[in-house]
Structure 1
Amino acid sequence: MNERDSVARTVHLVKLCVGAEKVEDLTDWQASRRRLWPDGLPRHITRMWPRREAELLNEGSLYWVFKGLILARQRVLRLEKILGEDGISRCGLVLDPEVFRTEPVPRRPFQGWRYLVQDDAPRDLAANRQNEDSLPPGLSAALAEIGVR
């Protein structure tokens, strides 16, 4: 293995944001649950532990899919073991509370999460567009399909 191979590259996760139609739904839900965790940081609990942990923890993010479009991301700060009430061990993705809106990118439905390599990750919206209200999902999808972001 050469020196370049020993350095962890960055990889991201993509996950459907089930039950949310827009980015504000996610941020509101996470804010309402902040008191559940001693450090106040949002978590997403998943059944499987990422095999590419080193790459994910090398400044990786969780990209959120809303109604068929990647619209936002959150940096993954760390992974922690979470023991459920059923005694099953799960992976807690500890997330930065800051949510970055991204350029809308269409994504077909899938189960669980998928890896996303750095070169394929959507770009963040410009800083002056981060606080814009989300467009309706259908309009965002139509604009993304014709290349207008």
Structure 2
Amino acid sequence: MERKELIKLWYISYFPKVASFISKRGGTLEDAKDIFQESLMILYEKRNTEFNLNEKAYLFGICKNLWFKHLNNISKLQNETIDFKEESEPSVDENRLLKLLNSAGKKCMRLLQRFYYDNQKTEIIREEFGFSSNHSTAVQKYKCLEKIRETVKQNSLRYESFFE
């Protein structure tokens, strides 16, 4: 089956259950779309491996894990108190992180900032950046994240590297 047809089939077959799951746990339709999109990319990559898997169960499991991770990240952000000092110099750790993020390029940095820091809706980001659809917006976000992941891999960086 062609990739486009396969993804369309997955959306029709599995998205309603995922959207319902996320909605019951305080999420929006946009949240469900973002989680489902990320899950589809993971499933599509795993589908090309040699082992067989129950696509529906695997996809739903990915969605659940991503949603709980998302909720956990939101919870952590809400519990943190950050003391911003005017005209303070960035720490060595902040400089490392900014350098890593900048390695993906200014457009990627702006795109990720809109998604994660500004919590902008996909439609608004799509219009701002001139993407043709919400799907292409999500794909571009994924590509930006992959650029950063690849930089981390190439430099053999670990999470702990930023907090030494």
- Establish whether TM, by shorter chain, passes 0.5: no
Greater Cα radius of gyration, structure 1 or 2: 2
More strand by share: 1
Structure with greater helix percent: 2
- In the superposition, the TM-score normalised over structure 2's length comes to 0.22
